[in-house]
Amino acid sequence: MAHARQGLFARIAAVAYGLVVAFLLVLLVGQVLSSRYNIVYYYSELRDISDFNVSVNGEERGTISAPTVLEGLESGSKVALHTTLGYRMLNNLMFQTYGNPVKVFADGRLLYSYGDPNTYPDFQKQPPPMVVSVTLPETAAESQYFDDVVDSSEDLDLRLEYTLLDTQSSLEVPRFSEGDEVLLFQQLLAQNLLGLVLGLVMLLGALALVPIGLATMRRAGLASAFIWLGLTCLACAIWSLGSNAVVIFLLPQASMLYNLKYVGFYLGIVSLLCFGLVFLQPQRRWPLMGLCIATGLFFVTIITTHLAGVFSFAQWWPYAQLVELLALILFMLDAIFELVVFRNRNARLLLIALGLLVLFSILESANQLLRIFPSVGELVQAGLAIFIAIMTFIAWQQVNQAFDAAERSEQLEAEITLVNRNLEMQRTLYEKLTTSSDGIRKLRHDMRHQLSAIKGMVEEGELAEAKEYIDTLYGAIPSISNRILCDNFAVNALAVHYLDIAEAADIQCDLRLVVPRKVGRILDIDLCVIIGNLMENAIEACEYVEEHKRFIKLSTTVDKTRFTLVMDNSFDGQLKVRRGEFYSRKRGLQGRGIGMQSVRAEVLKYDGAMKYEAENEIFKTSLYVKL
């Protein structure tokens, strides 16, 4: 039953994770197509501004079509983009800057300036990326309805002046859009939806995975993988949201987002490698551990030099991407080595997700070189999200198996404890029988002398002395419990033991046991597991009940085909059952009862069935096993 439920859960989880992965892939494809072909979705009222005349340091360089990248520029150059706008039905201009100071002029008048040296920390060496929305001057008559707008011959001279910093030799010209500010934001949201969804999903994943790992760590060693996976989620969420244009537009803390973006990327890679070390559990730990340490030290160096103002995050970025790709490839090679040489099962599970992540990282690097479509890491972020989704499912399955193994181990330990206890009871009973037999033998040897002494006292008329002497002899006769509850020696010893405990706790007991010496194919030890656990649970339940209400009724019968047991006992009405499993009070109603699991396992072992119900503060148990 439990395995069937686990199989159902596994299928449901697989379908859920498949849908998540498919959703992310659809978003990724939509992002690529919209960026590659400048799809503006359904916003027909918006207009892209793509054609610009370019001049560098006052020298004309021809025309360009945005978005594009101007290469081969000298640091400190002044790059001007110039275009003429005709009739403007709506009057807002939106674009994104990528680390360059920029000024926007309309008809020679300064409308907007960004990236002045005093507006960002000196150690950054460049202004952070920003999404700019500039209100343009009105030059056209407007009416309430778009169709009634009258064209205007007034043109607007639009000029954008970029300044290359000392560390820059290229200029990334963004996409420019003109239109209503609300529609511009909707378009911005649509174009950056993938990164935003990835960031939010990974943030929610971190909030779920870390607590799960902390809660399950004591019971499953692999549960710590959830913590590292959650930290990877958190770091990647920071990276994704910190580089997302929608977040940058909404939050006025551009420098904070800029720094968090890079820190999140670095911490995400290190956390992912640490997750791999925990999940993979390699036979040779030093290669992967060395990779974790080396990568971590490299990223610590990047952060240190950035904060010191020696080498900025932007300058380190190409090398950081290379190190990230190399680290993932080395990680994958180590997993392949573990699979081939040591037949590491976890390596086989890991390689599918890791291979996809490496593929996405290679595609991201290729896109950075070929500039197929504008990207700020969405491919790697999508690969990480898919990797995390797959590994979360696999790790959850592994932890479930570890829980099952731990429960089976606890059940086995409980059964061994019960068997040892039963053996101790039988040994004690045997010792009592041996002691009694020795005493009777000695008493029989001395009987002739004792009877002679008594005869003499009677003949002398000393009846009081004779009676006192007989009482003394009677007290010297060894005693042994004469309670025989059934013919099976092992079960009888167990039942007498628990009967003594119950009576000491003022529990009214009615035990009617029909258990022959040989009960078909059922082993005595298995009968003791069934009866012992039920008696122990019943006594424990009665301890929570008022003394005058405590009772246990137990009866067993044997016929030609089956052994049947029926038990009723009082309890206080507090019961926790989840999916047919009873939760033990010994564990604060937080863990499943090992005793009932052991009984159920023995019943199933002999092709039997078990039923239990609670009614009017009476717990009723009935079962049978086939002989």
What whole-number percentage of the chain has pLDDT above 70? 78
pLDDT digits (tens, 9 = 90+) for 380-409: 888 888 898 888 888 888 777 777 777 777
* 53 and 20 together in one domain: no
Provide the CATH number for the domain around residue 563: 3.30.565.10
Identify the DSSP state of 120: S
Q: Which of 359, 379, 408 lies at the terminal end of a domain, its last residue? A: 408
pLDDT value of position 494: 83
Number of folded domains that form the chain: 3
How far apart (Å, rounded) are the C-alpha atoms in residues 187 and 181? 10
Looking up residue 357, the CATH number of its domain turns out to be 1.20.1070
- Among 60-69, 468-477, 492-501, name the one with the lowest average pLDDT: 468-477
Cβ(584)–Cβ(594) below 8 Å: yes
Do 111 and 64 fall into the same domain? yes
Using DSSP bridges, classify how beta strands 577-578 and 581-584 pair: parallel, antiparallel or unpaired.
Answer: antiparallel
* 468 or 109: which leads in pLDDT: 109
DSSP state of 508: E
Contacts of 89 (CB under 8 A, 6+ apart): 45, 140, 142, 146, 149
468 part of a folded domain: no
Which of 367, 390, 408 marks a domain boundary?
A: 408
Residues making up the chain, counted from first to last: 627
Whole domain around residue 491: which residue ranges? 484-627
| 178-189 confidence digits (pLDDT tens) | 988 888 999 999
| pLDDT for res 23 | 56
Task: Output phi, psi for 263, to 5 deg.
Answer: -60, -40
Between residues 588 and 552, the one the model is more confident about = 552
Q: Are strands 508-512 and 551-558 parallel, antiparallel or unpaired?
A: parallel
**149 and 255 fall within a common domain:** no
CA distances in angstroms from 372 to 35, 64, 359, 378, 384, listed in the order given: 9, 17, 16, 13, 21
